[in-house]
Structure 1
Amino acid sequence: MSIQGGQYLDQAGNRVRRWMWTNLSPEPHVPLSPIFISLNCHVGVRILAQDKIFVSFLAMGRQAKFNMGTKVQVSASGQLSPPAQLGEDELLLLAFRVRILQLFDRMRGCLNFPSSEQWNKIQPPMYLMTQAVKILELCMAADISDELRSSIKAIVNAQQL
């Protein structure tokens, strides 16, 4: 969780759900009910308030508690600064990362469906298509050359063989 929102991850670390806070004003809008989560027999989480989030560890009859909560002060303008623009290297790395993940998914599909007739029917996972679109949007917003922009577009949208 952050001042902007939060996300929920599965056990493999893949994002399952993401949310953004609709109102960033510091006063509470809805009373918070305490939340108690037992992650396993040794780790628990208690959320009592924004500044009272406790993670507790239990081992050999002893317990350690850590307060992970904090009060976040919203700036006077109430608006968050825009994220820093990515440089050329970061955009290229993101594009190659998506391309490599696309190729891994394609190889997995070819192993699962050895018949070449099925290869063209296999679509990449939705999260890869979403990442590709986001990278292309970042390219449009970034101050990069048209040549680099078209190269990144070709990397992300490369045709599968």
Structure 2
Amino acid sequence: MVISAGIRVYINILGGQYSDQAGNRIRAWNWSSSMPSSPFVSFKPVFLALNRYIGIRILEQDNVSITFLAMGQQARISIGTKVMLPNPEELPALRYLTEDDLLLLASFIKIRRLFHKLEGCMNFPSSQVWKKLKQPSYLSSLSLKLLSLCHNSGIKQDTMVTITNLINEKI
């Protein structure tokens, strides 16, 4: 479903997600009936008011409706349907992180490294100390986790190189 500036609710055969107006992911889920052994969060009902006139109610895979309100009258359209996967083991792994998400995480790590370096420069004005400043251990840990996510997400090789360069670049 596309509403004005961006996608707020996304539903597919495996599950779905919904986002706030800024595009930030609020919640992601899988349908318990289609993927019973999935490690992702099982579904809990979602009630969204997209604006004063349009609402979405998602109770289960086959119980999804859009409600329209105008001039004191309400209309509800049911759009849900039950879909059973014939061979769930043949589906690719669920991926909720896109290449853009991974690039954003790499940029976050780089920015945090820059802030750490700036803080060190302010605290120790001598240029001799700048060269000795080490990256905080939490950033090293985040970098390793990000690289692991990249390897497990199946992103393109050029994106993987970009992410690796972002987090390993000398500052």
Higher RCO structure (Cα 8 Å, ≥6 apart): 1
